[in-house]
Amino acid sequence: MFEHFSEAHELFVYRMGIARGTTRRAIVTLGTLEQHAQRAEVGALMRDLSEEARAHTAALEDLFAELERNVAVPVAHTADGLDKEVHSVVRKTDEGILDLAVLPLALEIQYAAIAAYEPLAVYAREWLEGDVADRLEKCVAEQLSSRNQVLGLMRTVFASGDTVQARPD
């Protein structure tokens, strides 16, 4: 891993490693949120977000291979912090209102992913091949779409007077 960045490309590769680490941690964290979701549609959305994160991890792995780079996954401090926050908030929240906690936490995870990938897409568009940029921009577009899905479901859940829905057995 780089100790000091003297070239933009080194920083880009390192940040790609951070994005990969962030996405890997997000898969685990979204699994925790899925386990605590009360409504079927909230759990399904967490599964969809996890699958999207898996696809984005695979896309980054492909990019590393194409760029002939392999960087150890650096510690993704933001993702680790979000994971700790998820565990803390879930532990402190009554079961009857868990979806009111799960959805905003999922939104935070989406924003962290967007923050990790979007600068990579800009860098790639300006300095690398168009194909690399296209794939990173596709990830960002999917993340933005998922963010909108989380927001939509969050609005629905928050607007309902029904804060508790029993889990199916």
For the entire predicted model, the pTM comes to 0.89
Q: Which residue has the higher pLDDT, 5 or 28?
A: 28
pLDDT at 129: 74
- Domain 8-158: give its CATH code: 1.20.1260.10
**Distance of alpha carbon 108 from the chain centroid:** 8
**Distance of alpha carbon 169 from the chain centroid:** 29
Structural domain boundaries in the chain? 8-158
Token pair listed for 50: 């996890």
* Residue 40, CA distances (Å) to 20, 35, 78, 112, 153 in order: 29, 11, 28, 25, 12
Tens digits of per-residue pLDDT, 92-141? 999 989 999 999 999 999 999 999 999 999 999 998 878 999 999 999 99
Tens digits of per-residue pLDDT, 17-57? 899 999 999 999 999 999 999 999 999 999 999 999 999 99
Tens digits of per-residue pLDDT, 61-103? 898 888 777 666 666 788 999 999 999 999 999 998 999 999 9
